[in-house]
């Protein structure tokens, strides 16, 4: 895949058989359960600017869900500092764990390997499950975590896939080229959902749609992520040399339980970005009215998934995806084993979706979930508008491997996997060895007492009572990252580390 990419996942959180909870406080305490002992906030918020827009300006404000005002008022009553409410932690595997808008969020470390990224995504589930178990023990009630995107009361929370790409690509071209792909990607990347939902709640519960997030997109492009959500996000936070790179911050995807769905979602998107960098996407792909089309595809019960392009052409989502696939095959076939895996599976999935979508019940989340729900409907004699189905929908995403419906299927050997339990266990404790995440995670593991502050692209060490700042923005270059990682491995003290790197502050 040969580019830095990662996943940020916000988890739904509640307490079993308890209606009134404070999700912010619950998330804070859950995250603090990661470590035994005192919480030491180290995240460095300097340099973060979610208002900066890739179109060349800085937004004056961000749109917020109306409930955010309530959370903000509650936060003012907590008598906690901002960094305590956020409870930011960098983990020894290079990942970030923190409270984001009343949800615990796990952000994987940056990876260069597709399957290593899948292992780190699954490692996040297991880390959070362990935190939930510790918290449940203290509360004497079970803390429940769901890797999904909706609470069925009008709230949607995100799973964002991120890709480092060339800055030189004009944003308008990027937007027009990626939009049709994002609108149609849900036919294999959707997690499935019972009913139609808006910010006001469920408006129709009588059928099943492909994706959890498609109901919640209202504009084509914007810097916002929480309200008036855009299909293409314009936040300009490259976490790298801004003269060379931008970060495509994809907020349009569902949180996938299936390893296969996640791998296909990320792998195909990475290849489309490579096509965009080569300026290979024609303007004939442009979709008419994307915000309406993304909903229509998700809700289409015929599975024909027809859409209209700007040039007047009517095409199916499958055939539009095939046009992206054909270009990717022409340009990238044979590059490496992961790329060839993506190309092969992309073609296979599109063919099977056209012939019989339900044949993919062992691979795609939306198909597996639909099969479960249809089986339940047949056995219990209920209809699609029965509230019971929403509960089952939610339980598909329960990350407790003893209770979650997805994990029930996996334990039976009914879900296709792309990584092993051993790879996931390794990812819990170890960062990717070929990115700057290694430098971040191993610095924390090796010199924890000497780390003053830390974030994605810099670390500040306390060296003999003085702060020493190490900027990692240029470590997007794998050669430089490898050099920094080598020096770190060979350094026995933080003083020798900064000396060997030639850093003087």
What does 276-298 look like in DSSP terms, one character per residue?
HHTT---GGGPBSSHHHHHHHHH
What is the structure's pLDDT at 71?
A: 67
Question: Distance between CA 194 and CA 212 in Å, rounded?
Answer: 9
pLDDT at 69: 67
Rounded Cα distance, 248 and 235, in Å: 8
SS3 at position 156: strand
Closest CA to 106 of 13, 229, 203, 208: 13
Supply the pLDDT for residue 65: 62
Among 190, 142, 27, smallest CA distance to 400 is for: 142
pLDDT at 381: 95
Say how far apart CA 210 and CA 63 lie, in whole Å: 27
DSSP character string of 302-341: TS--EEEBTTS-EEEHHHHHHHHHHHHHHHHTTS-HHHHH
Pairing state between β 217-222 and 229-233: parallel
Between CA 291 and CA 283 the distance in angstroms is 18
CA angle 67, 70, 73 (to 5 degrees): 150
Which residues of the chain are modeled with pLDDT < 70? 1, 64-69, 71-72, 505
Distance CA 489, CA 492 (A): 8
Q: Which residue has tokens 């060296």?
A: 463
Task: Please name the residue that has the structure tokens 């362990």.
Answer: 130
Provide the annotated active-site residues: 100
Please list, in sequence order, all residues whose beta carbon lies within 8 angstroms of the beta carbon of residue 67, skipping any fewer than 6 positions away. Answer: 155
- Residue 77: predicted pLDDT: 75
Please, are residues 128 and 107 in contact by the beta-carbon 8 Å criterion? no
Whole-prediction pTM value?
0.96
């Amino acid at each position: 895949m040969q580019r830095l990419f990662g996943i940020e996942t916000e988890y739904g959180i509640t307490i079993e058989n308890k209606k009134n909870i404070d999700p912010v406080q619950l998330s804070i305490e859950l995250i603090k359960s990661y470590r035994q002992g005192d919480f030491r906030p180290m995240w460095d918020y300097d340099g973060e600017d979610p208002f900066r827009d890739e179109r060349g300006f800085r937004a004056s404000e961000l749109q917020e869900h109306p409930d955010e005002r309530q959370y903000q008022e509650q936060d003012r009553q907590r008598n906690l500092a901002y960094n305590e409410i956020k409870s930011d932690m960098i983990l020894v595997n290079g990942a970030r764990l923190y409270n984001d808008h009343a949800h615990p969020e796990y952000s994987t470390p940056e990876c260069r390997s597709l399957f290593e990224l899948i292992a780190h995504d699954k490692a996040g589930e297991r880390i959070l499950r362990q935190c939930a178990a510790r918290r449940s023990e203290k509360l004497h009630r079970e803390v429940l975590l769901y890797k999904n995107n909706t609470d069925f009361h009008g709230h949607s929370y995100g799973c964002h896939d991120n890709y480092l790409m060339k800055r030189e690509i004009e944003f308008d071209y990027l937007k027009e080229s990626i939009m049709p792909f994002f609108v149609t990607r849900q036919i294999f990347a959707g997690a499935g959902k019972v009913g139609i939902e808006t910010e006001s709640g469920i408006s129709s519960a009588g059928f099943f749609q492909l994706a959890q997030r498609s109901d919640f997109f209202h504009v084509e492009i914007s810097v916002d992520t929480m309200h008036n959500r855009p299909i293409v996000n314009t936040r300009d936070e490259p976490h790298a040399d801004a003269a060379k790179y931008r970060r495509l911050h994809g907020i349009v995807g569902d949180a996938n339980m299936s390893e296969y769905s996640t791998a296909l979602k990320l792998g195909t998107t990475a290849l489309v970005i490579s096509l965009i960098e080569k300026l290979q996407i024609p303007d004939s792909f442009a979709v008419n009215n994307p915000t309406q089309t993304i909903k229509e595809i998700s809700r289409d019960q015929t599975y024909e998934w027809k859409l209209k392009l700007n040039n007047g052409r009517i095409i199916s989502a499958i055939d539009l995806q095939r046009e992206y696939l054909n270009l990717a095959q022409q340009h990238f076939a044979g590059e490496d084993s992961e790329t060839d895996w993506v190309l092969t599976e992309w073609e296979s999935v599109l063919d099977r979706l056209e012939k019989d979508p339900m044949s993919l019940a062992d691979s795609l989340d939306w198909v597996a979930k639909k099969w479960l729900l249809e089986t339940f409907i047949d056995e219990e004699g209920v209809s699609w508008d029965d509230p019971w189905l929403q509960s089952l929908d939610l339980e598909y995403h329960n990350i407790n491997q003893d209770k979650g419906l997805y994990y029930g299927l996996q334990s039976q050997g009914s879900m296709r996997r792309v990584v092993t339990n051993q790879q996931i266990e390794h990812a819990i404790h170890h960062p990717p060895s070929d990115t700057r995440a290694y430098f971040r995670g191993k610095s924390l593991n090796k010199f924890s007492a000497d780390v003053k502050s830390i974030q994605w692209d810099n670390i500040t060490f306390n060296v003999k009572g003085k702060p020493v700042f190490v900027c990692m923005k240029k470590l997007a270059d794998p050669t430089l990252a490898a050099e920094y990682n080598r020096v770190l491995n060979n350094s026995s003290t933080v003083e020798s580390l900064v000396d060997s790197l030639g850093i003087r502050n």
